[in-house]
Amino acid sequence: MKVLLRAVLFFDALLELLLGILLLMSPFTTLYAALQLPQPQPALFGQLLGVATIGLSWLLFQATINGQLTVAVARTTGYVNLVSAVLVAAWTLFLDMPVQGAGKIWLLTLAAVLIFFAIVQIPAAKKVRLRERQQAELARADRDSGAADGYYPNNEPGAARPARPNASPVSPASPEYRREPGITPPPGYGPGTEVMPEPDPEALPTANHARQNPHS
């Protein structure tokens, strides 16, 4: 449905562009005489209307490309086309407008095309809007149910939320605190750590030892 709506907006933009160019050429009486169309008087009003029509054409082109503008622009343009078609048909058929021959055919054809655009744009814009709203509600419901079940978009289904890193400085009581081991000097270094060598039993006794043991 949205593809059809964009196609209608594209053709509507082309029609509005042609009408805008025609209205900008309001001062050229020979062109309007050849088409048997009533010339805008004064020509300034016709040119201002042409500028507005070209601006509407550019907005329709943007709505054809940008999906976020499609629904809003189509709905508004549909009502504008409907009112414009009614006015053109009323002035051509029932009011005293100086137009005859081919000019009347041009104006009635324009009114028919505008009505066709309005019939497509108004219901299609409503359907697309309802569908997008339902899809948004379903996506919100799925996201809420997934969060309740422990699902997070950045993790696998059912995975727990990753723990946040602790940016606070490590305190001495925490397990991450590392205490440097104390250095114990080897034997023989420092007071109270002297090691006396053991006596050799095969060594000869000294003189002092002989005097202490005269009977040995």
192 within a domain of the structure (yes/no): no
Say if 64 falls within a structural domain.
yes
- Helices 102-148 and 67-93 cross at an angle (nearest 10°) of 150
For the beta carbon of residue 125, count every other beta carbon within 10 angstroms. Answer: 24
Distance linking the first and last C-alpha atoms of the chain:
127
Q: Supply the DSSP symbol for 187.
A: T
* Residue 10 counted as domain residue: yes
Q: What is the per-residue pLDDT across 100-126, written as a single tens digit (0 to 9) for each?
A: 788 899 999 999 999 999 999 999 989
> Is residue 184, in this structure, part of any structural domain at all?
no
Name the more confident of 197 and 119: 119
Residue 20 lies in a domain: yes
Mean pLDDT of 179-186: 59
Cα–Cα distance list, 85 to 59, 94, 130, 215 (Å): 20, 14, 27, 150
Q: Specify if 122 maps to a domain.
A: yes
pLDDT (tens digit per residue) in 132-152: 888 888 888 878 776 666 555
CA distance 62 to 104: 32
What are the φ and ψ backbone dihedral angles of 13, each rounded to 5 degrees? -65, -40
Give the whole-angstrom CA distance, residue 79 versus residue 85: 10
Q: Do the beta carbons of residue 2 and residue 8 sit within 8 Å? A: no
Q: What is the pLDDT of residue 89?
A: 92
Helices H / strands E in the chain, number of each: 6, 0
Which residues, in sequence order, are CB contacts of 158 under 8 Å at separation 6+? Answer: 149, 150, 151
Domain that holds residue 36: 2-146
Cis peptide before 38 (omega within 30 of 0): no
Q: Is the pLDDT of residue 34 over 60?
A: yes
Angstrom distance (rounded) from CA 136 to CA 145:
14
Residue 199 within any structural domain of the chain: no
pLDDT tier, 67 (very low <50, low <70, confident <90, very high otherwise): confident
Res. 180 pLDDT band, cuts 50 70 90: low
- Higher pLDDT among residues 64 and 144, named by residue: 64
Separation CA 114–CA 56 (nearest Å): 14
Res. 163: pLDDT tops 60: no
| CA nearest neighbour of 14 among 53, 51, 46 | 53
- The reported pLDDT for the residue numbered 158 is 47
**Looking at the whole model, is its pTM more than 0.75?**
no
Residue 175 has pLDDT above 70, yes or no: no
- Give the pLDDT score at 216: 47
Task: Identify whether 204 is part of a domain.
Answer: no
Residue 81 has pLDDT above 70, yes or no: yes
Ranges 90-99, 116-125, 143-152, 190-199, most confident: 116-125
Planar angle of CA 211, 215, 216, nearest 5 degrees: 85
**Mean pLDDT value across the chain:** 78
Q: How many domains does the chain have?
A: 1
